[in-house]
């Protein structure tokens, strides 16, 4: 599944290069609102995650998908991994819609980050003691600490409005959705 999601994201980005405005209008995540241009359609809760705002955006998301997704898929299996990933994508979209709805200027949301943040959370829960080495600064830390600090940073950046154009609440929504799926999955089989 990781490989399939990886290639679907590459294909989505490649397609954007030819049909950019059309794809954004129909497949990016638009907040519901008055007649201000493109509108929200239900399929956007998933399709936005296969589009990206540039090659760096795509590259970072695919690197994280590859780094954390492979181990998470080994634990969950392919079918449950796909369910988990899509649940994180949808919960990220719903969280983004809640916060974007209050914005005076509607803007589209794109990227696999919500699903990737859900994978990061699962990685931290499944492998809490595994060491992750940050690049800048090069500090090794256990996965649980990395995930906790990253979530706290996303919350601070989202509340303060730092890094405009980054969907911090979508990232947190992906983590929240992932936590709920894993927590509920412990109580009853998927």
From 52, 91, 168, 171, active-site residue: 171
Closest C-alpha among 134, 170, 164, 150 to residue 44: 170
HEC profile for the chain?
CHHHHHHHHHHHHHHHHHHHHHHHHHHCECCCCCCCCCCCCCCHHHHHHHCCCCHHHHHHHHHHHHHHHHHHHHHHCHHHHHHHHHHHHHHHHHHHHHHHCCCCCCCCECCCHHHHHHHHHHHHHHCCCCEEECCCCCCEEEHHHHHHHHHHHHHHHHHHCCCCCCCHHHHHHHHHHHHHHHHHHHHCCC
Catalytic residue among 49, 52, 91, 113: 113
Catalytic status, residue 78: no
Q: Which two tokens stand for residue 111?
A: 């990227």
Q: Which residues are catalytic?
A: 113, 171
């Amino acid at each position: 599944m990781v490989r399939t999601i990886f290639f679907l994201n590459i294909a989505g980005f490649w397609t954007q290069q030819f049909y950019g405005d059309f794809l954004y209008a129909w497949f990016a995540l638009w907040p519901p609102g008055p007649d201000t241009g493109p509108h929200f359609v239900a399929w956007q809760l998933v399709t936005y995650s296969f589009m990206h705002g540039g090659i760096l955006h795509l590259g970072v998301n695919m690197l994280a998908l590859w780094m954390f997704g492979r181990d998470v898929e080994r634990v969950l299996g392919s079918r449950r991994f796909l369910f988990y990933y899509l649940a994180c994508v949808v919960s990220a979209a719903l969280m983004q819609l809640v916060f974007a709805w209050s914005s005076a200027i509607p803007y589209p949301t794109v990227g696999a980050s919500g699903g990737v943040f859900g994978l990061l959370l699962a990685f931290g829960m499944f492998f809490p003691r595994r060491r992750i080495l940050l690049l800048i600064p090069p500090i090794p830390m256990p996965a649980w600490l990395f995930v906790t600090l990253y979530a706290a940073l996303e919350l601070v950046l989202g509340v303060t409005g730092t890094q405009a154009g980054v969907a911090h609440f979508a990232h947190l929504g992906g983590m929240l959705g992932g936590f709920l799926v894993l927590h509920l999955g412990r109580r009853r089989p998927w």
